[in-house]
Amino acid sequence: MAPGGACWRGGVVPRGFKRWLSSSSSSSSYGPAPRVCVVGSGPAGFYTAQHILKHHGGAQVDIYEKLPVPFGLVRFGVAPDHPEVKSYGAEDNRVLGIPGENLSGVYSAREFVGWYNGLPENRDLKPDLSCETALILGHGNVALDIARILLSPLSLLRKTDITDGSLAALACSKVKRVWLVGRRGPLQVAFTIKELREMINLPGARPVLNPADFMGLENAVKDAPRPRKRLTELMIKTALEKPGEKTLAAQAATPREWGLKFQRSPQEVLPTADGRRARGIRMALTRLEGSGDSAKAVATGDVEELECGLVLSSIGYRSLPLDPAVPFDTQRGIIPNSSGRVEGVPGLYCSGWVKRGPTGVIITTMNDSFDTAQSVLEDLQVGALDVSTSREGFGAVESILRSRGVRPISFSDWEKIDAAEVARGKAAGKPREKIVDPQEMLRLIGH
């Protein structure tokens, strides 16, 4: 790669580019037009490109994507009933590192979310939803997303762009109880109040919170930041407030339930008698050392077993190394960088979760991407990047692809796929019906 600057995002491997999007060519009073290559068409990639184009009239930006469709995990990353949130990235998930993790019935949040959102690589997941109890490891928004999808009335899901195959599987689901389990306590949960409130008010599902977990917490959050205080107060109210007769009657008629379990760390996924499927999980009970967000969970020596036929690990995402030539911090799962500038590789930049780790929501990613783009602009301004000679950009890449017999998909090709998905969705009363098979996408555009 020899563009004037490059932005790398989310662990997308650059070898064998197949898809591209490009800004139009333009001359500029800035002198030679810098060619910028952005690898990855998710939120971080697009926000970085947007900021560069907005503030440098001569820049030309090519965006490359490994899938036949753009927008990355804006399209694939979040529950379909939250189209306004769509904000999760990174190419891999953290492993539990415990016995039984590979049993049938155990899935990572990333692959399960990819399944119901139509990510091609997860379209054949076929999760077994024949058990009554599911357990989600994690207390973040993704964990709540999964719980909500498992327990939502089909009438609500049918109005979203959830895939037809996922909807059919959920229609046959026997899951009626979902536990969300975390190593630490109520004061360390990572989900936000909006998502919790939506879960508490979910039709047909009642919250089950143990009052003992919330005793005395009012004083502990008196001086906490307002978001944490409000979130904790909502949990306390849900756990301790005695429901009226009408509420009790409604809850008695509610077929499904969900709950939060605290200070439990997974030790082993327990197998069925034949050793093939998950039947439960053994957890170490923990105590907290320290307070607030920095509190650490320490095993007490006691254990607890909980029956469940479905285990979903939502303990975080992580990026993958790009290439031996690009430095990578395996401990933190990021590319070492300074304001997006990759350490030791002039002209190479990173943005998104591969830059800072898997934290934050869409506004965080936007500001972070603008920060990286600003670094590119500053380096262009002071002459740190060589743009004195003409760079071919996609012209050079296209020649390489042609020599390998690879035909890239253009943005106009994507627009055909988009129109077909919207039309199929309209026929089914949904915003869109995602095409999950890449070969079908290629046939649709005549490849």
Partner residues linked to 226 by β-bridges = none
Q: How much is the average pLDDT of 304-317?
A: 90
**Whole-angstrom distance, CA of residue 132 vs CA of residue 177:** 6
Is the pLDDT score of 197 beyond 90?
Answer: yes
Partner residues linked to 136 by β-bridges = 180, 312
Is the pLDDT score of 287 beyond 90?
Answer: yes
- The pairing of beta strand 278-289 with beta strand 133-137: unpaired
Nearest to 388 by CA among 4, 65, 18: 4
pLDDT given for residue 23 in this prediction: 52
CA distances from 121 to 91, 114, 118, 159 (A): 12, 8, 9, 24
**Whole-angstrom distance, CA of residue 25 vs CA of residue 377:** 18
pLDDT given for residue 86 in this prediction: 41
Q: How much is the average pLDDT of 83-112?
A: 74
Q: Furthest-apart CA pair in the chain: how many Å?
A: 77
Of 95-104, 233-242, 247-256, 320-329, the one with minimum mean pLDDT is 247-256
Half-sphere exposure of 280 (CA within 13 A, CB side): 8
pLDDT given for residue 22 in this prediction: 52
Kind and range of the H or E run holding 402: helix 394-403
Q: Where are the alpha helices (DSSP H) in 24-140?
A: 43-55, 72-76, 109-117
**Whole-angstrom distance, CA of residue 379 vs CA of residue 388:** 14
**Whole-angstrom distance, CA of residue 123 vs CA of residue 25:** 38
The single residue listed with the structure tokens 């008695």 is 252
348 exposure class (CB count in 10 Å sphere: 0-12, 13-18, 19+): buried
Fold type of domain 95-202+255-315: FAD/NAD(P)-binding domain (3.50.50)
- Residue 304 — very low, low, confident or very high, per pLDDT cuts 50/70/90? very high
**Could you tell me which CATH number the domain at 5-73+318-408 has?**
3.40.50.720
Q: Where are the domains of the chain?
A: 5-73+318-408, 95-202+255-315
Kindly report the pTM of this predicted structure.
Answer: 0.74
pLDDT given for residue 16 in this prediction: 37
Topology alike, domains 5-73+318-408 and 95-202+255-315: no
